[in-house]
Structure 1
Amino acid sequence: MPKAIRTYVRWVDATNRYVGLLAMYLVFAMMGILLYSSFMKSFFIPPLWGLEMAQFLLVGYYILGGAWSLQSDDHVRMDLIYGRWSPRSRAIIDAITVIFLFVYLVVLLYGGISSTSYALQYGERSYSAWRPYMAPIKIIMCVGIVLMLLQTIAVFFKDVAAARGEDVL
């Protein structure tokens, strides 16, 4: 593989590993918010923002951690036939199927950018009693989709290299 591709794969892997590790800690923030909200509901007045803020953190957790999950091959796969194939056959099939993921993510990003621009232009707010602005979570979603797209391209390069019997790293 050319040096530019190796550099790209290393850069994307390092970036998504770092972002994924940071996103992993959002679960603890979410647990803290839910614990606080539960305590306040039991003894005082429940906060209006508790549940919705926990949902926003969960979205950030899933979206920002998705690329790291793809990188470390921790996503769900039907292993009825796939496990019996040789590593080269798996790499060939993965290189083909990752193209479908790429197309899906491009369409998702197109919709995400459209929705984010709407939220920024019109100051879109949630319909809850708390009424937070929606732009920050939509921006985080677009960033996560872009990171997933970059990781998808890196996985494609890795699969092509594995199908050719090479190592991209």
Structure 2
Amino acid sequence: MDNHNIMPKVIVCYVRWVDAFNRKVGRLVMLLIFVMMGVLLYGSLSRSLFNSPLVWGIEVSQFLMAAYYLLGGAYSLQMDSHVRMDLFYTRWSDRTRALVDVMTMLLLFVFLGALLFGGISSTGYALRYDETSYTTWGPPLAPIKIIMTTGVLLMLLQCLSTFFKDIARIRGVVIE
């Protein structure tokens, strides 16, 4: 292998660290679906058997589902599990796919950067003014906004990792 095809050590370390971290977060977050199912089952049983509906059940389930997909997004990207329109994609060479993925990642950086900026702003507002939900239960919104912002940050870090792996693929190198 030529020296010009070797990726810098700092990039390889970054990719390995981010991939390992997001893999652990993703596998842990997978369990939230069971917690959400438990909350919904408890709410259903409480309403039907004891005629005592939960004021907080649906909202907690919504928060858990939001955490599930926001914190699991980076893992999904890492596993290449996102939906892709692959009418032509599967027919292209690995290098062409990597080149298209690099261009897509550049657009995704802009989108996720805007989401991160908005998430930080919204989280700051929720923390500063003790923002609560407008429901009967009225929980604080800062925790879910922190989770939202963290999920976007993890996705952004994973996008950069994927970007580096695609650049390596274009150069004929595989980073694992």
Q: Which TM-score tier does this pair reach, normalised by the shorter chain?
A: over 0.9
Match 1:27 to one of 28, 33, 52: 33
Unaligned regions of 5+ residues in structure 1, if any? none
> 1:110-156: per-residue Cα shift (whole Å, max 9, x none)?
00011000000000000111000000000001111110000000000
> Counterpart of 1:107?
114
| Superposition RMSD in Å | 0.6
* Alignment partners' CA distance in 2, 1:160 and 1:9: 12
> 1:44-64: per-residue Cα shift (whole Å, max 9, x none)?
211100000000000000000
* 1:88-99 alignment, distance < 5 Å: 88-99=95-106
Runs of 4+ with >2 A deviation: none
TM, length-normalised to structure 1:
0.99
* CA deviation after TM superposition for structure 1 residue 168, in Å: 2.0
> Counterpart of 1:14?
20
Match 1:140 to one of 143, 147, 153: 147
Pair 1:40-2:22 in alignment = no
Aligned residue type for 1:33: V
Match 1:62 to one of 69, 87, 99: 69
SS in 1 for 2:172: coil
> Counterpart of 1:2?
8
Aligned residue type for 1:55: Q
* CA deviation after TM superposition for structure 1 residue 164, in Å: 0.9
> Counterpart of 1:78?
85
SS in 2 for 1:114: helix
> 1:85-112: per-residue Cα shift (whole Å, max 9, x none)?
0011000110111111111000001000
* Alignment partners' CA distance in 1, 2:156 and 2:43: 35
Identity of aligned residues (%): 60
Aligned residue type for 2:60: M
Aligned residue type for 1:104: F
> Counterpart of 1:51?
58
